[in-house]
């Protein structure tokens, strides 16, 4: 009698395990991606991205943008050793906003820190002239100024 009671319980347990088990991720249902020789050659022959260096960043960067109807010119001066200055001048406002700070390159981005704020800029190393875009506001684009 115990054997007969065990058999339906075992079948039920097996059914539950089968229903819940197995790899059901969407990836397992898709066919394997095929790569042709042409695709492989194209990937290998692509131009490598320019590597940013501190020397590339040192200098004056400037850009003009509009915020709330006011034209603002931002200048970022980066010095050797990781120090710098940021100045924002609003059109029609005789005062400027000047901050001293520090900078560093991290994974293709420039971090400029002043007071208790850090602003990240994504740098386009292959652009001519070099440009960087403020990560938190893509209206702010700064171009590296040529040395006079």
The arithmetic mean of pLDDT across residues 24-44, rounded, is 48
Q: Is the bond preceding 50 in cis, omega lying within 30 degrees of 0? A: no
pLDDT score recorded for residue 58: 95
Q: Give yes or no for a contact between 108 and 123, defined as CB atoms under 8 angstroms apart.
A: yes
- pTM, 2 dp: 0.64
CATH classification for the domain delimited by 54-144, as one of 2.40.128.640, 2.60.40.10, 2.160.10.10, 3.40.50.300: 2.40.128.640
Question: What confidence category does residue 95 fall into, taking pLDDT thresholds of 50, 70 and 90?
Answer: confident
What phi-psi label fits residue 117: left (phi over 0), alpha (psi between -120 and 50 degrees) or beta? Answer: beta
What pLDDT, in 10s, does the model give residues 41-94? 434 434 445 688 999 999 999 999 999 899 999 999 999 999 999 999 999 887
| Dist CA 81 CA 95 (whole Å) | 29
């Amino acid at each position: 009698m115990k054997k007969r009671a065990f058999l339906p319980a075992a079948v039920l347990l097996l059914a539950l395990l089968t229903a819940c088990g197995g790899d059901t991720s969407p990836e397992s249902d898709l066919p394997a991606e095929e790569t042709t020789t042409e695709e492989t050659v194209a990937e290998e022959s692509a131009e490598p991205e320019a590597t940013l260096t501190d020397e590339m960043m040192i200098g004056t960067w400037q850009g003009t943008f509009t915020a709330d109807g006011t034209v603002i010119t931002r200048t970022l001066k980066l010095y050797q050793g990781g120090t710098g200055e940021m100045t924002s001048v609003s059109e029609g406002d005789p005062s400027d906003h000047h901050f001293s700070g520090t900078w560093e390159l991290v994974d293709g981005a420039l971090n400029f820190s002043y007071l208790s704020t850090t602003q990240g800029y994504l740098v386009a190393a292959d652009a001519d002239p070099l440009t960087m875009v403020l990560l938190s506001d893509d209206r702010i684009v700064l171009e590296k100024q040529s040395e006079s």
